[in-house]
Amino acid sequence: MKEPYSLEELLADLNAEEAQPDPGEDYRTPEQWGRHWGVSVDTARRIIATALKNGKMERRQRTITRINGSPYPQPVYGFTKKEA
């Protein structure tokens, strides 16, 4: 008879199923966009909100590791592809 999952195996499988592909360097946080554009974080957030409403940007998530080692899904924003 096969041994049941160990806790480590179960957690590894659950984490593997939940893992989303990294959206890439083209997706940034509002703070990163603010530095890139040379504007404040509040201004960057307003620009991003407007761009999201108009379909120019989209929101994705990047998994980062907190200082205590736990994973955290961080929202990031990037431009949608221009139609040719």
Distance CA 28, CA 76 (A): 5
Start-to-end CA distance of the chain, whole Å, equals 58
| DSSP string for 19-70 | ------TT-B-HHHHHHHHTS-HHHHHHHHHHHHHTTSEEEEEEEEE-TTS-
State the maximum Cα–Cα separation within the chain, in Å, rounded to a whole number: 63
User: Has residue 14 got a pLDDT over 70?
Assistant: no
- Is residue 13 situated within a structural domain? no
Q: Which domain holds residue 73?
A: 24-79
- Is residue 69 situated within a structural domain? yes
- pLDDT, position 20: 61
**0.75 surpassed by pTM:** no
Count how many domains the chain has.
1
- Is residue 6 situated within a structural domain? no
- Please write the tens of the pLDDT for every residue from 20-71: 667 777 899 999 999 999 999 999 999 999 999 999 999 999 888 888 888 8
Tell me, what CATH number does 28's domain have?
Answer: 1.10.10
21, 36 contact by CB (below 8 A): no
- Is residue 11 situated within a structural domain? no
Decide which of 36 and 72 is more confident: 36
- pLDDT, position 72: 85
